[in-house]
Structure 1
Amino acid sequence: MNRITFTRERIYFVLSIIIIAIWVAPYFILGEHAHMRIQDNLDSNIAWYKILVDSNQLFGSIQANIPQIINGELSRNALYSEYYGIVELFRLFPPVIAYGLNQAISRFFAFLGMYLLLKKYVVKGENQGFIRIISALTFALIPFWPNGMLSMLGMPLALCAFLNIRKHEQTIISIVTITLLPFYSTFMLGFFFFLSALGVFWLIDVIRTKKPQLRLFFSIVYMTLIYLAIEYRQLASLIFSHEETNRSEFFESKNNLTQTILLIFKNYIVGHNQNETLFGIIILPVSLIALVLVILKKSWKNEKLFITLHLTNFLLSVWYAFWWYEGWEPLKQKISILNTFNFSRYHYLRPMIVYILFAVSLQILWRYQKKWRITAIVFAILQIAVLIPSNEQVWYHNSPSFGEFYATKEFSDIKKFIGKPVQDYRVASIGLHPAIAQYNGLYTLDTYNNFYPLSYKHQFRKIIAPELEKNKALASYFDQWGGRCYLFVDELGKNYMFSKDSTKVIHHLRIDTQAFKQLGGNYILSGVPIENAKENQLDLQKVFQTKDAYWKIYLYKVT
């Protein structure tokens, strides 16, 4: 690589780091005024970290429960391992700062890992530094699920390390990499799928080379064992706990063949909400143009990686869609692991595959003719333009900020009004997420969690049974999943975001108040007024509203 090319690539590298820093800066500048994802984030994980720390059960035993949630029936094992880096961030820093640090760490190592992988194994041309940098940068800016940490964004770094080990190169730093990555990623929500896919790669490699490839094999086993050690709580639950959980009633394969085929193309073009790639607008056309060029040049044999990436990307969407196909259901009912573990998540490999495909596609355009280099540069810059609206401050600007969502001042007023120690009464919420009450220290009968006792789900169902009778969709949602153990109301559906300016009113609420009381319930926090509250033995105590909160909360006491 000549000196000018090297200097230019180094400048691109520094500029990329600056762009990533600007991308995450709002969390540190805006603090609680920052906006962030609500689904599977503010409505759950962020509250869980605080609950873990406040409960003094962060390092609790495998038999420990969380007293604050569902009458203490939620197992400590249902929440994140204490060895996850993100948990430590939330233990040491204020929540928004911890969240911002997690974003910065995840995006930096996503960029670094993809850059190193492309430079050493994919886009190796001396004058193609721009392609390496821009592909790594766009990968680092995708709207990933933040609580997964490096579960998806760390895959290129891991793949680079494993390939180094296979080639007997940079072995020490690569072993350090696969040793540390498990502490900042998850096994069940990312690396199980990566490592099992890598195991298939190892097997094919053994057959192809007729060599055992023991270094690669033992490094895969080594990383897997570290994950299992970190995830000892979930292992203990699987091996030693014989209590049925809500996962036992998880019926997911309900799509007919037409719906399944449509889902293939939806996932392929649009993606999944936890691993969005923003593939369809720029990367898909670029990869198809590159495919046409490969066909015209008849260079199939020279572009095996490109063809493989195209096929794998599509087949992962096929696998994802068919996991929800109704034809699976009889087999899933016979083999419990197929029902309790979501094997569709091999699509978590797609972000890495899509952005390697993007890099290779740009490389094909770059090498075709000199005038096509400008086209490649334009497409690369356009992909950054496509990603900018996905920044949380832009995408969620119409949603409540962190501070507005958790409404700590408003809940402080509620607790003062009730005037009793929080552990002496139980609440549940209507029209807002129970995570808000949990974040503010209240003890809740409702929750959002995928792993809690099935017996509790059945007890809780008695409360909302009259409402579920009115709405078959809600009944199916609760009965066949139940992760959201909420006070569902037919008139509200699956809407939990009623602002203080909302004019929505519940006119015909029907809940089993006696079942609520038998479960220990004392108060209901409603995001909207309940017109027939007295028919349900509910007495309106007070309406709470503050200028810094998103909600107007109606406090009802069970009489």
Structure 2
Amino acid sequence: MLLKKLAAEKNLLILAGIALALFVSPLYILGENAHIRVHDNLDSNLAWYKVLAESGQLTGPIDAVIAQIMNGNLSRNAFGSEWTIIVWLYALFPTMIAYALSQTITRVFAFIGMYLLLKKHFLIGEKWAPVSIGTALAFAFTPFWPSGMLSTLGMPLALWAFLNIRQGERSWRNVLVLTLLPLYASIVLGFFFFLSAMGVFWLTDLIRKRTWNWPFLLSIIYMTGIFFIVEYRLVYSFLFDDEPNSRDEYFHARLTFWHCVRLAFKNFAIGHHHAATIHTLIILPIMLVALFMVLRKKDWKKEKVFMGLFFLNFALSAWYAFWFYKGWLPLTERFHVLDTFNFARYHFLRPLVVYLLFALSLKIVWSYGRLWRRMVPVFVLAQVIAASFFNEEILFQNKPSFKQFYAQEQFSAIKDYIGLPQEGYRVASIGLHPAIAQYNGFYTLDSYNNFYPLTYKYQFRKILEKELEKNKTIRTYYDEWGGRCYIFTDELGKHYMFKKRTKKRLKNLELNTDAFKAMGGSYLFSSVPIDNAEDNQLRLEKVFESKSSVWKIYLYKVI
């Protein structure tokens, strides 16, 4: 009987491997014609990796700058550390191959981590193998912040290692996991919050059991230390760089109490796109059913892990929502770090918590009767199918493909038309992400970065100050965040993806082109025509179109 169960488990693991291969296959098959996430991906990170790889500063010193962006005002430290493997993927491989490899690495280790965690610590016994494998597969299918790598999806693997150490297991595998994960994850995009949660877990053990459990404590310190070594640029900037930067004008505490309450329940039920859980349709109802069963049978002591995780799940959503409560304002004014560091990201723990709850909920439902037992495989399969529909090729099929977005053929024609060395002049974009120009080698005054000198933000603001005066939305967006150092306009608002079929036009543009020229600006790439170009000292040079691009680029020269 045991051999049959082990054989069945092996077969299920093979099927899960095939499913993972199919899930990432569009990236390999379609290549640059694949559709992938634009927000915080194509519009930023993928271009940054290419710029960094071509800058000659991939392993540059602490005080190095990236000359291609923001007139050299962007520090090398604003990009990923060279100790992070993802940086080398993009340096060694073409962008889409690097992206496909990164997606594959992340999803494979997400599956392995969740499977090992459930099998060893939560669903012990061969009979639970289908639930463990199915839950792990659904977890591995969830969307994640691509440049975050294993920052959220690597948490189950880290928790597996920590729980092993906590229980007294001495194995090189645990040390290997805690050593290698920091090379493919980010401390600010997930693991700061995970490691601090582990610290609270250790402290709770100390209070309850009155034992120090030194190996557990030292393992937390060890992994934190590895992260600090890998992220040495970030650590240096945080501790020693005292120049005011754009993060210093990030203000988050602006929501009313009842707005925060609504946001808490919304996050609990739907989640957040940077830490997506895909739990609303399947997992949430099953969690609530399992909660009802536990409360009805008064088994909350027996199911204390389930109850604790359920409470933690809601607490994380509440914490996320109330981080934006305007009642925090006196504290944020007194302690500046509360504005510059996004503590709301504790909700990045939710993918781990939600899928642990899913597995434990299925275990509770299983024990409630024969009918429920028969439904458990159906629930598992339903969640796997639901998560599979969040494949990027499906999710972003109506967005530009990689090739259409970066429009290399079109921008090569623009470069040839201008006919000057790209480092010899500066450009900016209107109605278009600056990352596109950056990816194609142009030196841009504008950019999407949240860590650059405040003096540059003020200097760039002079170009669009009249447009900001007209529109409170873009004025607040620029002044109280500024991560998108873009040429915003009143008529276009906070939109920067106007495709070639758009009917939009700029009729009343008011730019300070003298300020633009003073910064070295020579050309504007606009995705919409500017009717009053001459009033802004602009001359239309040429309109560029390409079948392989979704843009129509109006090239304006400052005169």
Of 177-186 and 237-246, deviating more is 237-246
Tell me the CA shift for residue 200 of structure 1: 0.2
Tell me the CA shift for residue 207 of structure 1: 1.3
What corresponds to 2:183 in structure 1?
A: 183
TM-score, L = length of structure 2:
0.99
Q: What are the equivalent positions in structure 2 for 1:48-447 lying under 5 Å apart?
A: 48-447=48-447
Do the aligned residues in 1 keep the contact of 2:114 with 2:139 (CA within 8 Å)? yes
Give the letter aligned to residue 23 of structure 2.
Answer: W
| Counterpart secondary structure, 2:127 | coil
Distance 2:266 2:522 in 1: 44
Give the letter aligned to residue 133 of structure 1.
Answer: I
Do the aligned residues in 1 keep the contact of 2:290 with 2:365 (CA within 8 Å)? yes
Distance 1:257 1:398 in 2: 37
| Counterpart secondary structure, 1:525 | strand
Tell me the CA shift for residue 285 of structure 1: 0.2
Q: What are the equivalent positions in structure 2 for 1:514-525 lying under 5 Å apart?
A: 514-525=514-525
Give the letter aligned to residue 48 of structure 1.
Answer: W
What corresponds to 1:482 in structure 2?
A: 482
The alignment status of 1:461 with 2:461, answered yes or no, reads yes
Do the aligned residues in 1 keep the contact of 2:77 with 2:233 (CA within 8 Å)? yes
Of 65-74 and 490-499, deviating more is 490-499
Tell me the CA shift for residue 170 of structure 1: 5.0
Tell me the CA shift for residue 443 of structure 1: 0.2
What corresponds to 1:545 in structure 2?
A: 545
Tell me the CA shift for residue 465 of structure 1: 0.6
What corresponds to 2:45 in structure 1?
A: 45
Distance 1:348 1:300 in 2: 26
TM-score, L = length of structure 1:
0.99
Distance 1:273 1:474 in 2: 23
CA deviations over 1:440-488 (Å, ceiling 9, x no partner): 0000000000100000000111111111111101100000000000000
Distance 1:482 1:140 in 2: 34
Give the letter aligned to residue 236 of structure 2.
Answer: A
CA deviations over 1:267-312 (Å, ceiling 9, x no partner): 1111111111012111110001111111222211110011011100
Give the letter aligned to residue 194 of structure 1.
Answer: F
What corresponds to 2:496 in structure 1?
A: 496
Give the letter aligned to residue 172 of structure 1.
Answer: W
Give the letter aligned to residue 249 of structure 2.
Answer: E
| Counterpart secondary structure, 2:142 | coil
Give the letter aligned to residue 278 of structure 2.
Answer: L
Tell me the CA shift for residue 85 of structure 1: 1.2
**What is the number of residues matched between the two proteins?**
559
Tell me the CA shift for residue 239 of structure 1: 2.2
CA deviations over 1:344-403 (Å, ceiling 9, x no partner): 100000000000000000111112212212222222122122212211000100000001
Give the letter aligned to residue 31 of structure 1.
Answer: G
What corresponds to 2:26 in structure 1?
A: 26
RMSD: 0.9
Give the letter aligned to residue 139 of structure 1.
Answer: F
Give the letter aligned to residue 417 of structure 2.
Answer: F
Distance 2:485 2:230 in 1: 28
Tell me the CA shift for residue 169 of structure 1: 1.9
Unaligned runs of 5+ residues in structure 2 are none
Give the letter aligned to residue 182 of structure 1.
Answer: P
CA deviations over 1:252-279 (Å, ceiling 9, x no partner): 1100111111110111111111111012
Distance 2:164 2:517 in 1: 61
- Identical-pair percentage: 54
| Counterpart secondary structure, 1:127 | helix
Do the aligned residues in 1 keep the contact of 2:541 with 2:557 (CA within 8 Å)? yes
Give the letter aligned to residue 60 of structure 2.
Answer: G
Do the aligned residues in 1 keep the contact of 2:138 with 2:388 (CA within 8 Å)? no
CA deviations over 1:316-352 (Å, ceiling 9, x no partner): 0110111000011121111111111000100000000
